[in-house]
Amino acid sequence: MKRIVIGGCSQEISTFNPVSCQYEYFSFKYGNEIDVDSRGKNSAYAGAINELKKEFKDDLELIFTYDAEGGAAGPLDHDAFIRISEEFLAPIKNITGKIDAIYFSLHGAMGTTKENDPEGFLLEETRKIIGDEVPIIISLDLHGILTEKMLKNVNGVATYHTYPHVDFEETGKRAAKIITNIIKNGSKPVASRIKIPALVRGNELITESGIFGEQVRTAIELEKHPKVLSAGFHICNPFTDVPELCSQGYVFTDNDIPLAEESVKKLVGNFWDNRHKMQADLISVEDAVEEASKLNGPVAFTDAADAPSSGASGDSNEIIRFMIENNYPHSVLTSIVDPNAVSKAHELGVGETINIGIGGNLDKRFKPIMKDWKIKSISIQENLDMENWKFILNPGKCAVFEYNNITVVAMTNSIMMVDRTIFFANGQDPKNFHSTIVKSPHCEPEFYDEWVEKNFNVDAIGSTSANLVTLGHTICERPMYPMEKDTEFKPNIEIYK
């Protein structure tokens, strides 16, 4: 009977978010909870589990260990990571008897206050425990930073092929197929990689419509070759400032180095030539507000600089501040992480008016907006299902504040705002407002783009700004485009056995 271990650890961080996150920011699953929770979901776990069961049928024992899943945030407190890593490794140490493979569901863009490659650390420590003979296969987000340490300690990688991400289950399935090839067919994985000194952002990264889709389609085509085990392209998370931050392509083959080299060159293709096109097309806050004031609406303002899904604090009030100061004439809906304001609202109750500063209580580049805010509603929101994604949201205590034409949905905990869940949960529908501020670089089209008159991609300040040259990278390799416009690229193929 084949015995395959399944576990994981995922988080995406922004180094530029001044607020570090703690152990409590993670949700955890232990043992068979991983299996139970994944059933019927579009998740990497579900894809891997179902594929392994299909291939091995009754000749299979799945050993579920530990899963830690943190929402995107600032750097993880290192002591918290030490605790998580110990919990991650403990059940692996306790496994008795032979195991045939390990599958880990990871993200790839973690970072702590002291460790620049947490995933690499976990994989290296796992390898020390199990030895060199047991294959380790991982799945990653295409925003993950695939590092040398990771590649040296795994036997295969499967990466999302979509952005916005929708292929979670399919990615887990592809990871499981690598395991099947190793166990059933005796495949001996070798990997090639090319790193590209470019950070990218913007609409051209949308895989269905943007030019980055060329890399993804090439990867999918390469994976059809009988000796190619996997191929993927990482645009990485430009807000995770770590030594190996870059764009990169990789290919795993079955012991065929020439094929791996040829394939990764094909995969990288014209990415470098297109780098200048893969930068965000931004409009200033001032110009966006002025233009929107003249439109019938509805309109959206994309504030990617304060996107919690990318690791920002979620407490920017820059756009509504400018609107208030300039007498913006339309109704506005926005979301802000502000535990203090929410706590005060719960103390006073619905219908009361409170003079309080909203926003700017976490990231000090923003200043609270002091006004007489009316408390429209209070609630406690836990275990919220997202519109399309598998994740559960826990914003905690919430309050809806109103000042003239501005409505703020405030929450205690930062959550992903890639859909409209936080608005709906608090009784607010963006379609009932002229203007909605969307704190995500991209959402699925039906959430906003398909029905708004215009979506302004705003050049706001923040720790996840798409205006990459403003962020202040100090750790990643330099020169790096677009920070250095004259960066040169000389392709170098790395091989990992």
Mean pLDDT of 229-238: 98
Q: What is the DSSP string of 363-377?
A: STTS--EEEEEEEEE
Quote the DSSP letter at residue 264. Answer: H
Where residue 442 falls among pLDDT bands split at 50, 70, 90?
A: confident
| Pure H helices in 293-388 | 318-325, 339-348
- For residue 445, count other CB atoms closer than 10 A to its CB: 13
Instruction: Please report, as a single letter, which amino acid is at residue 28.
Output: F
User: What Cα–Cα distance (Å) separates residue 41 from each residue in 35, 52, 255, 293, 336?
Assistant: 11, 16, 34, 41, 29
Backbone angles phi, psi at 144, to 5 degrees: -75, 150
pLDDT in tens, 173-201: 999 999 999 999 999 999 999 999 999 99
Q: Is the pTM higher than 0.85?
A: yes
Beta carbons within 8 Å of 226's beta carbon, 6+ residues apart: none
Task: Name the residue ranges covered by the structural domains of the chain.
Answer: 2-277, 285-466
Distance CA 260, CA 190 (A): 8
What does the mean pLDDT of the chain come to?
A: 97
Is residue 369 over pLDDT 90? yes
Residue 252, classed as helix, strand or coil, is strand
- At 390 the pLDDT is 78
Average pLDDT over residues 107-130: 98
Per-residue pLDDT tens over the stretch 47-97? 999 999 999 999 999 999 999 999 899 999 999 999 999 999 999 999 999
Q: Give the pair of three-digit tokens for residue 275.
A: 């780098």
What would the two tokens of residue 38 be?
Answer: 């994944």
Instruction: Give the containing element (helix H, strand E) for 129.
Output: helix 118-130
From residue 175, alpha-carbon distances to 70, 93, 225, 306 in Å are 22, 23, 16, 32
> DSSP E strands: which ranges in 120-172?
136-140, 156-159
